[in-house]
Amino acid sequence: MKQFPTNFLWGSATSAYQIEGAHDADRKGPHIWDVFAHTPGKVHRQENGDVACDHYNRYPADIKLMSEVGLKSYRFSISWARIQPDGKGDPNPAGIAFYGKLIDNLLANDIEPWVTLHHWDLPAALQMEDDGWLGETTSDHFAQYASICFEHFGDRVKNWITMNESWVMSILGFHSGLFAPGRKSADEPYRAAHNLLLAHGKAVRVYREQFKSQGGQIGMTNNCDWRHPLTDSEADRAAAQRSLEFMLAWFADPIYFGDYPAVMREHLGDRLPKFTDEEKEMLKGSSDFFGLNHYTTMYAGDVPAGQSVENGEYANGGVFSDQHVALTTDPAWETTDMDWPIVPWGFRELLLWISARYQRPPIYITENGCATPDTLLAGEVDDPQRIAYLNGYVGAVHEAIEKGADVRGYFVWSLLDNFEWASGYDKRFGIIHVDFKTQQRKLKSSAHWFRKVIERNGLA
């Protein structure tokens, strides 16, 4: 038996736009994903999250399913545009009421809420009026929105995540244009990332200065794939390190050390925004835990200065060319339905890298999971590939703990099959099957497997 620490936290995760639906109900304002998904050619088959899993209306039944799985915690995001329809001003009472009922119902079922304040769905008014995450005022609006959430929910919510995957927002939103707001630029990702970090810092400052008595914790969740050297050469080892710093340390170093990684400052010069001394002080130490989303591993090979990097959809220069790294995979690796390689040992290595670089912070795995092409047969969904994936990756977490990493929790992505952003509804990450025509739910075999893991607090 691979036993986890006694108080290890087991949970599952979702995000508002992917499951809630009710896109214009009860005075909710439009956000950038509402706009993006309704723009022709942006989402597979022109699908959108207008209804999604209808969780806004079905949350009591969904929470009963969480209880059936045996979840001890549930990570969900609050839709900013449901709280403040235009991203500013007084809160929307209906939005406050919905999340209040959701939180109360979770607690009544002994499920601990973990709340993400921003999971990519910026109010559209802020995009149009304040230039979104490229503007200088959006971070202040975010701090005010966060304050509203702390005030109304902080008596019951003790675990807060400011931002989800700022790398994705910066790169897919402002570099490749694959995600909202759909911009393509070599330099805008650095500006967007800078303002996302400032928004995080300002929200944490508000929480610690005004809501400390609530007794909760607050942090940020970043995503990172493991980058393994393509060869054992010094150049490829340096490339793998550089790639990790351009992906994860880009956002984690300011939070733990007060500034961007030296390699980014050296490579980018004036293209990389600079923090003031006051901002460095605000950011340093601004996370009570290290939130990590992880899915896959890639090889990193050095690209000498002067040589071009074949970037495919990222061919407009920018972060991939800036780091002088070529990313590849092993054709022998099995892949998920997202074409992401399944490499559990890479997860272990990443956790140990984080532990070493940031002086062994408490780590919560806020997302990990895989998409598989599930089918419902005789009323059941048998998903052995997902079980094998989760078994390998949860096992890698255990190995990292044995080697000294302070990992305190694991949230499987995702609770429900849902709207998977630009991929629409084809990619199924949920441990619970959703029929999007009838809105019927069914526990998959992976949900039953996960329940056994939770019950025994470990892997057989």
To which H or E segment does residue 74 belong?
A: strand 73-77
Token pair of 81, please?
A: 């545009």
Q: What pLDDT score does 313 carry?
A: 45
* Contact (CB, 8 A) for 445 and 387: yes
What φ, ψ does residue 23 adopt, rounded to 5°? -65, -25
User: Looking at the predicted structure, is the pLDDT value of residue 9 above 90?
Assistant: yes
User: Looking at the predicted structure, is the pLDDT value of residue 111 above 60?
Assistant: yes
* Contact (CB, 8 A) for 330 and 255: no
Question: Percentage of the chain with pLDDT > 90?
Answer: 94
Query: Residue 1, Cα to own-chain centre: how many angstroms?
Result: 30
User: Looking at the predicted structure, is the pLDDT value of residue 378 above 90?
Assistant: no
User: Looking at the predicted structure, is the pLDDT value of residue 315 above 70?
Assistant: no
Q: What pLDDT score does 379 carry?
A: 85
Model confidence at 310, pLDDT cuts 50, 70, 90, reads: low
* Contact (CB, 8 A) for 179 and 189: no
Model confidence at 321, pLDDT cuts 50, 70, 90, reads: confident
For the stretch 418-450, pLDDT in tens is: 999 999 999 999 999 999 999 999 999 999 999
Within 13 A of 200's CA, how many CA atoms are on the CB side?
32
Model confidence at 114, pLDDT cuts 50, 70, 90, reads: very high
- The CA radius of gyration of the chain, in Å to the nearest whole number, is 21
Classified as helix, coil or strand, 137 is coil
User: Looking at the predicted structure, is the pLDDT value of residue 280 above 80?
Assistant: yes
* Euclidean distance between CA atoms 69 and 432, whole angstroms: 9
**DSSP code of residue 50:** S
Model confidence at 314, pLDDT cuts 50, 70, 90, reads: very low
**DSSP code of residue 25:** G
Q: What pLDDT score does 135 carry?
A: 98
* Euclidean distance between CA atoms 231 and 392, whole angstroms: 24
Which residues on adjacent β-strands are paired with residue 413?
Answer: 13
Q: What pLDDT score does 311 carry?
A: 53
Which residues constitute the domain of residue 266?
A: 2-459
Q: What pLDDT score does 430 carry?
A: 98
Q: What pLDDT score does 369 carry?
A: 98
Stretch 16-43: mean pLDDT, rounded?
98
Q: What pLDDT score does 320 carry?
A: 83
The domain that holds 194 is classified in CATH as 3.20.20.80
Q: How many CB atoms lie within 10 A of CB 325?
A: 27
Q: What pLDDT score does 390 carry?
A: 98
Strands (E), 338-431: 363-367, 407-413
Residue 149: partners with Cβ closer than 8 Å, 6 or more residues away: 78, 83, 115, 117
Question: Percentage of the chain with pLDDT > 70?
Answer: 98
Catalytic residue among 20, 47, 112, 165: 165
pTM for the model: 0.98
Mean pLDDT of the chain: 96
Q: What pLDDT score does 34 carry?
A: 98
User: Looking at the predicted structure, is the pLDDT value of residue 18 above 80?
Assistant: yes
Which amino acid belongs to residue 97?
A
Catalytic residue among 20, 367, 399, 420: 367
Which residue in 132, 24, 14 sits closest to 71, CA to CA?
14
Token pair of 16, please?
A: 């508002």
For the stretch 323-360, pLDDT in tens is: 999 999 999 999 999 999 999 999 999 999 999 999 99
Token pair of 428, please?
A: 């199924």
**DSSP code of residue 191:** H
For the stretch 250-266, pLDDT in tens is: 999 999 999 999 999 99
Q: Based on the structure, what is the number of domains in the chain?
A: 1
Token pair of 107, please?
A: 């607690």
* Euclidean distance between CA atoms 364 and 292, whole angstroms: 6
Q: What pLDDT score does 403 carry?
A: 98
Stretch 128-144: mean pLDDT, rounded?
98
Active site residue 367: yes
Q: What pLDDT score does 77 carry?
A: 99
Longest dimension (CA), the chain: 62
